Structure 1
Amino acid sequence: MAFGRRRKDRAESGYVPGEQDTAQEAAGAADGPAQGPYDVADRPSEEGYVDLGALRIAATQGLALRLEVEEKTKRVVAVTLDLDGSSLQLQAFAAPKSETLWDEIRAQIVQSVSSQGGTADELEGRLGTELLARVPAQAQDGSKGYRVARFVGVDGPRWFLRGVFGGPAAMNPDAAGPLEEVFRNVVVVRGDAPLPPRDLLQLNLPRDASPLPKRGEESAKPEPPRRGPEITTIG
């Protein structure tokens, strides 16, 4: 297959994303999407969500967010969510009305990983077709190892959402569960402005980042995630 992409079954890959619930999928086909990520037209309410502009993130106890800013342009290019020692980076892009991007983007990710001497295995998981990438990296003790990242993607109406799981959620299905639920509840706000395909959708600082309740205190309604470092600069 092009770019050295390898499709593996779950046992061979060492990662088991989980069984699909075919009954729920069949029911969802008749009634619309059974689970997200969602377009804003399907979930217009902002209640219980943190508004980041193009993305709305469901409030979850213990969740922290970091906004990543491109140094040259000073624009927010991604949001990374941290929960229970794992991370999920999210980016939303404009997409053609009648085409999908995930197949092409997967091929490009494989090419990039392969050029670094790594591998990328294509899997069918709980979030659809995924890539499990292993990129050579140096450990803190100087020994050689691999950094593992799990790429997922969703083609929506005129938008594409990419997620990258890191930490235990990249390999362990049990550890991945909480962040997968966060991913499924993401709402994408595409907007009506004409944009070239693959242009990043605009992300903004949250309008409200109230702290989560202290341990032992009860909260009457979901609180927004705690804000991590205000800005993480990337080159």
Structure 2
Amino acid sequence: MGIFRRKAREDGPTASGHDDDAASAEVESDDTGAEDIEATDLASETDSVGSDVGDAADADLSDAGDDEADDSHHELPGRLPRPHDLDRSKGPFDRSEVKNLDDRLDFGALALRPLAGMELRLDVDQEAGNITGITAVLGESACQVQVFAAPKSRGIWDDIRDEIADGLITGGGSATEELGPLGIELAVRIPARGNDGRTTYSAARFAGVDGPRWFLRAVFSGAAATDAAAAATLVDFVRDTVVLRGSEARAPRELLELKVPDAVAEAAEEENAPRTLDPFERGPEITEVR
């Protein structure tokens, strides 16, 4: 079963976030690919996957612009040659590379196919009211996907990877480049100070894919951050993603618009609609026990 819920965010797109809003809708996905949609209230539930992978790991994509990378970045362990272009023959795909999207959910700039047992959660900027990303949760692993506009002339993942690493290292974390199934990835440790003053660290893995005039970022947390076997299904989910960038002129690193799929929105409206009393409908029964 896959739960499709909203997550309120107060500070825009981040590497991950798991604050739940009261309004939500549930998408059940079975092994045959069919989806049953049911409204539900998840305000009382808490999230246990990747809760520490938050603002500390965020690359400020909207403000970084399209300037060439400078030489002031930290030297990373295992730094790999660049530029590095991922072979996208197995995905993620551009809309022009896919015949139809009938078997995927339409999230606007992203078309996704939820897997059996997967929860899809919307990351919502509470202040702006827009959806900034989608987080897929499977067991003890999670993966957030976000999509941004990119220049036509070149990719931006190499620059963004440096910026993420700089921010983490400056804040007391660590970052190492590794070659993974989605190309060059960034394995990081994110520091967080507890109420007792002690610093703890959580692991995450950043992957980036440069497409035609778009950039897709995936952040793996929980078990998927360190266990390749645990991440394998989520990697397949990311590869199966289709980006619908559109032809509009957009500033580099501008967040592409996401939306709630129409089927899910309609199901939520029906669930919240007032019910009409049927005088012929059989009501509750009470059995008297003596």
Give me the TM-score of the superposition, normalised by structure 1. Answer: 0.75
Q: CA deviation at 1:161?
A: 0.3
Question: Which AA in structure 2 matches 1:198?
Answer: R
CA gap 1:138/1:44 in 2 versus in 1, 3 angstroms: farther
Measure the CA separation in 1 of the matches of 2:75 and 2:127.
33
Partner residue, 1:185: 240
Residue 254 of structure 2 corresponds to residue 203 of structure 1? no
Q: CA deviation at 1:50?
A: 1.0
Measure the CA separation in 1 of the matches of 2:75 and 2:195.
29
CA gap 1:77/1:167 in 2 versus in 1, 3 angstroms: same
Measure the CA separation in 1 of the matches of 2:90 and 2:196.
42
> Equivalent residue of 2:263, what SS?
coil
Structure 2, unaligned stretches of length 5 or more? 1-70, 80-85, 266-290
Contact 1:96 1:158 in 2 (8 A): yes
Measure the CA separation in 2 of the matches of 1:139 and 1:127.
33
> Equivalent residue of 2:90, what SS?
coil
Measure the CA separation in 1 of the matches of 2:227 and 2:201.
16
Contact 1:88 1:179 in 2 (8 A): yes
Measure the CA separation in 1 of the matches of 2:97 and 2:227.
31
Measure the CA separation in 2 of the matches of 1:44 and 1:199.
27
Residue 177 of structure 2 corresponds to residue 122 of structure 1? yes
- The total of aligned residue pairs comes to 189
CA gap 1:141/1:87 in 2 versus in 1, 3 angstroms: farther
Within a 5 Å distance, the mapping from 1:10-49 to structure 2 comes to 33-49=88-104
Greater RCO between the two (CA within 8 Å, min separation 6)?
1
Measure the CA separation in 1 of the matches of 2:260 and 2:154.
30
Larger Rg: 2
CA gap 1:61/1:5 in 2 versus in 1, 3 angstroms: farther
Contact 1:5 1:121 in 2 (8 A): no
Partner residue, 1:157: 212
Provide the alpha-carbon RMSD of the alignment.
2.2
Question: Which AA in structure 1 matches 2:140?
Answer: G
Within a 5 Å distance, the mapping from 1:1-235 to structure 2 comes to 2-8=72-78, 33-138=88-193, 143-209=198-264
Q: Deviations over 1:101-149 (max 9, x none)?
A: 0011001101111121001000111110000010112469875321111
Structure 1, unaligned stretches of length 5 or more? 10-27, 211-235
Q: Deviations over 1:43-98 (max 9, x none)?
A: 14112211100001113111111111112211111111111221111110001111
